[in-house]
Amino acid sequence: MIINHPILGPRDAQEFVYLGDANLMGRPDGMTAGIEAFHDYLYNRDNPAGAHRELWYHEQGDRSWLVVTRNTVTHEILKVEMARDVARAGGRSK
Amino acid sequence: MRYSGFRVIAEALTGHKGWKPVWRDPAPQAEYDYIIVGGGGHGLATAYYLAKEFKQARIAVLEKGYLGGGNVGRNTTIIRSNYLLEGNEPFYEFSLKLWEGLEQDFNYNAMVSQRGIINLIHTDAQRDAFTRRGNGMILNGADAEMLNRDQVRALYPFLNFDNARFPIKGALMQRRGGTVRHDAVAWGYARGADMRGVDLIQNCEVTGMRIENGRIRGVETSRGFIGAKKVGVAVAGSSSKVMAHAGMRLPIESHVLQAFVSEGLKPFINGVMTFGAGHFYVSQSDKGGLVFGGDIDGYNSYAQRGNLPVIEDVAEGGMALMPAIGRARLLRTWGGIMDMSMDGSPIIDKTHVEGLYFNGGWCYGGFKATPASGWCFAHLLAKDEPHKTATAYRFDRFLKGLMIDEKGQGAQPNLH
């Protein structure tokens, strides 16, 4: 698979480490969310067959985190964003 | 029709005109007591034991493709019970004991071959860990023995014993481990279930579940609605897709695992060998091909095929262990979809829907579990309580902190 890095251009997926569903960026607030919400966040997954937004870390590159939208049935990569931009668009400060 | 040596001779003398189709191809009835979703090894075994051991009737197995067309036909055929943890080892040892009596039990040649499995040791720390695991196995009634370097050399003199990074120092051996003809397992269970009146319905995909007042009423399928008192889902690989029909999100990610076969070679690997440090394991089939594999690709996938970097990685592991295979050609590679659970262990449990039961999360270890998985799932379906060897395989173990994490990797499915 070739991941089209927004800054570095097309890079081999071997340079990246895979973490999982991009929803992992939305960790519940530890002070207010209950144990059920944390359990759901940590252990349960949508695991779709089709478009999947997921976190890839460019470990052997610029050490950036990317949100890659990829079809899990065909492995086609549909969209690549900087995770930082996604987080800021979602209202986070960094 | 019972199979026997006499029968083979009798058929040979009469032109093989007496062989009949091994199972029927029935149309679905309007309602069953039990519907098993998934006509793979685990689903067929569940139906078989439900009918044979738990004396239940009016059972159907629904399969979206053909029987045994999923992971039971795509694995590397290894059986073993060399687990460490309390929640796992009694279950896998129960499974290995069922394997030992399986062919007589279902009157089908599954080519169960207890040729022994070794896990290679490279460091003192690894020897300590494997000694502990071996003791755990023995405590649960399994067999285990530690081999020193010379004993491993006597078995496999051609290994690279003096690899600079992973010199071979010994191995953990389970002599009762081995291989089984994987397709024959599905066929044997299918035939045994069919003979006991189970309807095996192929080309019948479950497209929805009818749930009323928190109770399952049946399933919507590509061949119409089929009513059921109890529904058991055993579709590992596609668990999240099917259980989504009941509004469930599972502690599971689907990942692709590749497997490989070389061209046929003269016999030189008698048993099964795992080289964990190099992410490689191998056995040799009766046809002579080396059957081997390594890690999962590591990203969510439903594609049933993987990518080249993992093929390269597995080939490197094989070469590091056995430089002698360098000239052997790779004949085939393929992929299967694994239910990678959050602690690397399976789930056999009830759900929040009354009458709906789940069996999945087998990671890449489902094949060896087939008989016990079927038995324990049938036990749960028939008696509404878990079999004594499967009490730990619960959904709520993640909420309660009772994970069964053999490798201690945490909630990171692609590392299990």
Residue B206 belongs to a domain with what CATH number? 3.50.50.60
End position of a domain, from candidates B322, B341, B360: B341
Same domain for B334 and B260: yes
Using a pLDDT cut of 70, give the percent of chain B over it. 100
CB contact under 8 A, B250 and A44: yes
Kindly state the DSSP code that residue B248 receives in the 8-state scheme. Answer: -
Same domain for B360 and B310: no
Write phi, then psi, for B330 (nearest 5 degrees): -80, 125
Check CB contact of B252 with chain A, cutoff 8 Å.
Answer: yes
CB contact under 8 A, B302 and A73: yes
Per-residue pLDDT of A28-85, as tens digits, reads 998 899 999 999 999 999 999 999 999 999 999 999 999 999 999 999 999 999 999 9
Which residues in B lie closer than 8 A to residue A20 (C-beta atoms)?
A: 253, 300, 412-414
CB contact under 8 A, B251 and A52: no
CB contact under 8 A, B411 and A43: yes
Residue B328 belongs to a domain with what CATH number? 3.30.9.10
A-interface mutation test, from B238, B301, B337, B416, most A Cβ less than 10 A away: B301
Is a pLDDT exceeding 90 seen at residue B99? Answer: yes
Q: What is the pLDDT averaged over residues B70-83?
A: 97
End position of a domain, from candidates B306, B341, B376: B341
End position of a domain, from candidates B314, B341, B368: B341
Same domain for B387 and B304: no
Average pLDDT, chain B: 97
**pLDDT of amino acid B128:** 97
Amino acid at B412: Q
Same domain for B166 and B22: no
Kindly state the DSSP code that residue B388 receives in the 8-state scheme. Answer: T
The two tokens of residue B167 are 């010199």
* Among candidate residues B180, B217, B190, B225, the one with its CA nearest the CA of residue B38: B190
Same domain for B327 and B306: yes
**pLDDT of amino acid A93:** 82
Same domain for B60 and B16: yes
Per-residue pLDDT of B156-178, as tens digits, reads 999 999 999 999 999 999 999 99
CB contact under 8 A, A39 and B399: yes
Check CB contact of B250 with chain A, cutoff 8 Å.
Answer: yes
Per-residue pLDDT of B345-363, as tens digits, reads 999 999 999 999 999 999 9
Q: How many Cβ pairs within 8 Å bridge chains A and B?
A: 68
Decide if A94 is inside a domain: no
For B334-359, b where at least 16 C-beta lie within 10 A, e where not — what string? ebbbbbbbbbbbbbbbbbebebbbbb
**pLDDT of amino acid B47:** 98
Same domain for B301 and B165: yes
Q: What is the pLDDT averaged over residues B325-342?
A: 96
Decide if A49 is inside a domain: yes
Cβ-based neighbours of B204, under 8 Å, separated by 6 or more: B28, B62, B63, B64, B221, B222, B223
Domain count, chain B: 2
Q: What ipTM did this prediction achieve?
A: 0.96
Decide if A17 is inside a domain: yes
**Min CA distance, A82 vs chain B (Å)?**
18
CB contact under 8 A, B254 and A13: no
Distance from C-alpha of B61 to C-alpha of B29, rounded to nearest angstrom? 12
Check CB contact of B398 with chain A, cutoff 8 Å.
Answer: yes
CB contact under 8 A, B250 and A52: no
CB contact under 8 A, B254 and A44: no
Which residues in A lie closer than 8 A to residue B253 (C-beta atoms)?
A: 20-21, 45, 47
Same domain for B189 and B222: yes
Task: Determine the structural domain holding residue A14 and report its residue range.
Answer: 2-89
Residue A21: CB atoms within 10 A of its CB come to 18
Domain count, chain A: 1
Per-residue pLDDT of B208-220, as tens digits, reads 999 999 999 999 9
**Min CA distance, A38 vs chain B (Å)?**
9
On whether the CB atoms of residues B146 and B84 are closer than 8 A, the answer is no
Q: What is the pLDDT averaged over residues A3-16?
A: 97
Residue A74 belongs to a domain with what CATH number? 3.30.2270.10
Same domain for B314 and B217: no
Q: What is the pLDDT averaged over residues B392-415?
A: 95
Same domain for B197 and B171: no
**pLDDT of amino acid B402:** 96
For helices B41-52 and B366-383, give the axis angle rounded to 10 degrees: 40
Same domain for B316 and B354: no
Q: What is the CA radius of gyration of chain B?
A: 21
Which residues in B lie closer than 8 A to residue A36 (C-beta atoms)?
A: 399
Task: Determine the structural domain holding residue B306 and report its residue range.
Answer: 112-178+253-341
| Closest in A18, A42, A44 to B298, CB measured | A18
**pLDDT of amino acid A30:** 83
Same domain for B261 and B174: yes
